[in-house]
Amino acid sequence: MRFLVPLCVWAATSSFAGEYAVLVSGARLHIDRHEINEAKVKLYTGAGTIEMNAVQVASFEIEEWEAAAPIAVSSLPKEAARAGASPVPPSPMTLADSAAEKYGLPRQLVRSVMKVESGFQPHAVSPKGAIGLMQLMPSTAQTLGVNPHDPTENVDAGTRYLRDLLERYGGGLRHALAAYNAGPAAVEKYRGVPPYPETIDYVRRIEKEFKNTD
């Protein structure tokens, strides 16, 4: 059973075996614990920490702890087994930069899309079912021939799709971002960014993030 915890209850450090941060965008991020310091929230994950404005978080859900099944050493790669530990997965930034370089896009653009889409969280799932770091819908992932739950495949496919959209719209960033969010059909129907509040805000946020990192 999970319990919904209003954000305003937590005015000091809180920690649990695991919990979910529910963002106002609807995305749910799995975290170890969180801290609130006035207008800021710090989310702790196994890969590090994420700091954001408190108004971006709607609530927290406490996850009931369950003991994980032990991993047999024989199931790990030989190098990891010899070292006595599982291999460290690449960081979100590394995934973004590698995919950007592969498909000839600015690193900061891919990072900006990733930040707005998932908050750099590999296991983020949107209310509509979009999965992972760059929030691929299952149907899109199937079309692109990737496993959306694999961070490397997810980011590679998301970046490839973004590159294809940019080429489709002659390098028009706003058109490409709108199509990434609402679909190419909506962009073509309205001959530009569709008049959807979510899409308009999405394009604005990524453009702002991209410009701030130039």
Strand stretches in 28-138, DSSP E:
28-37, 40-45, 48-53, 57-62
| 192 in any annotated domain | yes
Residues 189 and 141 in one domain: yes
Catalytic residue among 79, 117, 188, 198: 117
pLDDT band at 61 (very low <50, low <70, confident <90, very high): confident
Which residue range(s) make up the domain with 190?
92-212
Q: Give this prediction's pTM.
A: 0.62
Distance of CA 71 to the CA centre of its chain: 27
> What confidence tens digit (pLDDT) does each residue in 15-32 have?
345 787 887 777 777 788
Does the annotation count 19 as an active-site position?
no
Q: Which residue has the tokens 């310091």?
A: 37
| 116 in any annotated domain | yes
Say yes or no to pLDDT of 85 above 60: no
Residues 145 and 98 in one domain: yes
